[in-house]
Structure 1
């Protein structure tokens, strides 16, 4: 039976690498997969890229108002309708109704979906897409990474121009910003130290 998988972790936990490895594993066995990501993720344009230097073009980008099930049906028709798996990177940027589409793709169309993303933003709040995936997914898997202190990282702290910030829009991608925006994966202790105890 097909399932909806949500594989989540703090930034730099290897999510894109795991997605590209999963795609390779399917294709090594002669199966067709579809790769997608939300178009709001402008980093890498239409590519999914790993910090290890591996990159691959997606089959389609998902606009904020797109019907994901219709997109999958359209692209599946282009490969004879035989889709072994749909893999989605940066799934936190999906609209909750698009996550509902993913469940319908699994249940009604029989296509497994592997969604990769982060749970929470730089203010420790769940992204709407991630919250819905946590509610609907058949399987949840945490991909782990470590904080600079060596403890397990839970949160994603935002830096603008090299300084930690704890206010601002939920989404800030460095190509979209005037100042360089970066993120650091942190444990709860280090996050609270840098935020002065704020969890927002």
Structure 2
């Protein structure tokens, strides 16, 4: 089932740093510290996978604030988001600002849209690489003092965010199958001086890019 809670943290980036690797090969994160009126949030962005040395994929690009809907105008703090296309929630496969292919008209049947997706060359292909490659790509947009939007699941205790990555398309039998859902993807966005947002999307190579209405892979 989808997450019990999903939302966006709006705040100011005060610090970022990488995990210190240990001898057991722990999951590797880039950690953000984000200031908001109720305190300093801890945000752990996944840039690693145990499946292979290149099990993580990412995209970086820039969008206008108007493409993000209501979230760009939210005051600082954590905000719960409905899992809908109008709330400001993110979906890598459905959000018109995030899709790597044209947004086909909604009146086209889903099977036809999938065929068209297969014919069209992606405008923003995924980059694959090591955890260090992904960390470096993310760090390019992490400027201390910038306003940030961090999408994901809030901590159950304390101030923080995790599951800051694609949260759908995990294959049947994986530990994360039950958490698949649409309009609940995580991402890291930082606001540029010109008002546009630099976007970092990240997923694992096992996650599929065609999903049904429950977020399960097709």
Answer whether TM exceeds 0.5 for this pair. Answer: no
TM-score range, shorter chain: under 0.3
When you count strand as a share of all residues, which structure comes out higher?
2
When you count helix as a share of all residues, which structure comes out higher?
1
Relative to the length of structure 2, the TM-score reads 0.23
Relative to the length of structure 1, the TM-score reads 0.24
